[in-house]
């Protein structure tokens, strides 16, 4: 590559009169360059970025600016608070655990839990007394499904006389007794008059405990 202007194949170069002094003294395959100053906007962003980086560095390295991890933790704690609230509301019903407990003889064990803790108010076979009849299709606090009965038993309805069972019996026993309650559903045994809303379409059979489980999300 020659750096000389006398290449014969080269088309004649046109340079404005007032730009002649800017023309650099080299030639790359016929390409000439004018030595313009960098545009102001370009210099402004370049030097601006340098100045910014100094403050940025000092803030995040020395003045305790939050790390990405800190920012993530802060955002995530909001999600966790929401999740905890949701869990509290639902009593944290876990359909997989429920299915497992049912498969593990939960109904039978649940009957024992029921006899020991619940008959005082719901009577034998849940026909109702102080507490509502659990053998009809009417429900006050739930839809009669395991996932909607669970929070009622877990949290109780203390203001209406249904005790809180969380901490009194184990979580496993709550799941077991729920699965037993499920077997009472729609037996329509004579007992306490219906209370609450009729729930028509929930699959509550004697096997309801097991068949209901996968419906929960
Ligand atoms: C001290 C009395 C009492 C005991 C003991 C009791 N319950 Fe209850 N239960 C109630 C009352 C009263 C209600 C109705 C609450 C209302 O009106 O909101 C109720 C409601 C319920 C409901 C929801 C019924 C509906 O229609 O919303 C379920 C399910 C239930 N109890 C299951 C149980 C189980 C399982 C046990 C034993 C672990 C138990 N209860 C022990 C008094 C009791």
Q: Report the run of H or E that residue 139 belongs to, with start and end.
A: strand 138-139
- Which residue's C-alpha comes closest to atom 41 of ligand 1? 118
Total residue count of the chain as it appears in this document: 217
* Model pTM above 0.75: no
What's the gap in Å between 135 CA and the centre of ligand 1? 13
User: Burial letters for 32-56: b for 16+ Cβ neighbours within 10 Å, e otherwise?
Assistant: eeeeeeeeeeeeeeeeeeeeeeeee
* Distance in angstroms (rounded) separating the CA atoms of residues 35 and 20: 10
Per-residue pLDDT of 116-150, as tens digits, reads: 999 999 999 999 999 999 999 999 999 999 999 99
Q: Name the stretches of the chain with pLDDT < 50.
A: 1-3, 204-217
What pLDDT shows up at residue 115?
96
- Which residue's C-alpha comes closest to atom 40 of ligand 1? 118
- Which residue's C-alpha comes closest to atom 34 of ligand 1? 118
CATH code given to domain 91-215: 1.10.760.10
What's the gap in Å between 131 CA and the centre of ligand 1? 5
What's the gap in Å between 216 CA and the centre of ligand 1? 22
What pLDDT shows up at residue 88?
67
What pLDDT shows up at residue 119?
96
């Amino acid at each position: 590559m020659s750096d000389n202007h006398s290449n014969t194949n080269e088309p004649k170069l046109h340079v404005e009169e007032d730009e002649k002094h800017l023309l650099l003294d080299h030639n790359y395959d016929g390409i000439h360059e004018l030595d313009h100053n960098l545009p102001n906007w370009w210099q402004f962003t370049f030097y601006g970025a340098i100045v910014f980086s100094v403050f940025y560095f000092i803030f995040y390295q020395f003045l305790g600016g939050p790390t990405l991890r800190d920012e993530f933790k802060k955002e995530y704690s909001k999600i966790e608070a929401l999740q905890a609230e949701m869990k509290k509301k639902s009593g944290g019903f876990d359909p997989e655990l429920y299915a497992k407990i049912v498969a593990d003889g939960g109904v039978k064990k649940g009957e024992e839990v029921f006899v020991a803790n619940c008959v005082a108010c719901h009577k034998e076979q849940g026909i109702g007394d102080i507490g509502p009849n659990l053998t009809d299709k009417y429900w006050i606090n739930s839809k009669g499904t395991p996932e909607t009965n669970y929070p009622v038993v877990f949290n109780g309805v203390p203001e209406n006389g249904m005790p809180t069972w969380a901490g009194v019996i184990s979580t496993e026993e709550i799941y077991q007794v729920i699965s037993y309650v499920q077997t009472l559903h729609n037996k329509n045994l004579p007992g306490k008059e219906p209370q609450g809303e009729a729930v028509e379409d929930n699959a509550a059979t004697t096997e309801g405990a097991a068949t209901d489980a996968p419906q929960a999300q």
